Amino acid sequence: MKATQHRGESLDYIALEPDDYRPELPYPLVVMLHGYGSNMDDLAGLCPVVHSTGYRYVCPNAPISMQLGYGVTGHAWFSLDEGDARAVEEARTSENRIATLVEEVTAQYEVEPERVVLGGFSQGGMLTLQVGLTRPEVFRGLAVLSGKFPQPEELIPRLQAQREQSIFVSHGTADHMIAVEEGRQAVGLLKQAGYRPEYHEYEMGHQITADVVADLSNWLGRVLPPTHLDE
């Protein structure tokens, strides 16, 4: 895939075009949000493994930068203490920036409503739920990889009446960053709210394995089929 870096109105991002890209074709869009301390390159490397020909991908940088070591900069969507008032405000700011970016790139690529999937890893998975559940008219599906449900008392009152989005949730049974119980709790909250998430557990830590990618790719193909070159 061809990857190019862009400075958007709200967030910097990497855009990936499919192999044998034909701009006249109606490619679906997949937006992937990285985890705490990482950057837009992280999941950009994963996208071609998920599907290299039938989708456009956008991988933004989170807006909060931090120094992880000499010459190493990471990014976060909000502070680690998500219950803190500052972190709640940071998460809402990130939510609005992601929504603005999606508006920008869907207009640029002429992507029709509900031809977008939003996904994320860890903290990016939390933002996926926060952004995606409140905008079902935009996102056909949501993919939460090793994440959890963000601030239920804040998010649940904001859920929309349309609760038919396809939701993929994956978690590792040996995850020491976000315990598997929190992944299961997220699925339980989604079910209580009327959603029907597809949940997968794996014998892994806080990571994305080949098994996760295979199941994610299969789910994505069912929810938002890829564009084929013969269309």
Residues 88, 151: Cα–Cα separation, whole Å:
8
| Per-residue DSSP letter, 158 | G
Residues near 107 by beta carbon (within 8 Å), at least 6 away in sequence: none
Determine contact, residues 57/84, Cβ cutoff 8 Å: no
pLDDT at 228: 77
Q: What is the pLDDT of residue 106?
A: 96
Q: Are 6 and 13 in contact (CB under 8 A)?
A: yes
Q: Within a domain: residue 192?
A: yes
Output the domain CATH number for residue 192: 3.40.50.1820
User: How many whole angstroms separate alpha carbon 170 and alpha carbon 147?
Assistant: 8
Report yes or no on 230 lying in a domain. no
The SS3 call for residue 123 is: helix
Give dist(CA 44, CA 60) in Å, integer. Answer: 9
On whether residue 231 sits in a domain, the answer given is: no
**Exposure letters 37-62 (e unless 16+ CB within 10 A, then b):** bbbbebbbebbbebbeebbbbbbbbb
Distances (CA, A) of 116 to 29, 71, 181, 220, 226: 5, 35, 29, 11, 11
Could you give the CA distance from residue 218 to residue 206 in angstroms, rounded to a whole number? Answer: 21
Q: Could you tell me the CA-to-CA distances from 225 to 58, 59, 74, 158, 165 in Å, in that order?
A: 17, 20, 33, 29, 15
Does residue 228 belong to any structural domain of this protein?
no
The answer to whether 144 and 129 have CB atoms below 8 angstroms apart is: yes
Residue 217 lies inside a defined structural domain of this protein: yes
Query: pLDDT by residue for the chain (231 residues), tens digit each?
Result: 999 999 989 999 999 999 889 888 999 999 999 999 999 999 999 999 999 999 999 999 999 998 877 777 899 999 877 668 888 899 999 999 999 999 999 999 999 888 999 999 999 999 999 999 999 999 999 999 999 999 999 999 999 998 999 999 999 999 999 999 999 999 999 999 999 999 999 999 999 999 999 999 999 999 999 997 555
Q: In terms of residues, how long is the chain?
A: 231
Domain total of the chain: 1
pTM of the shown model: 0.95
Range of the domain at 23: 2-223
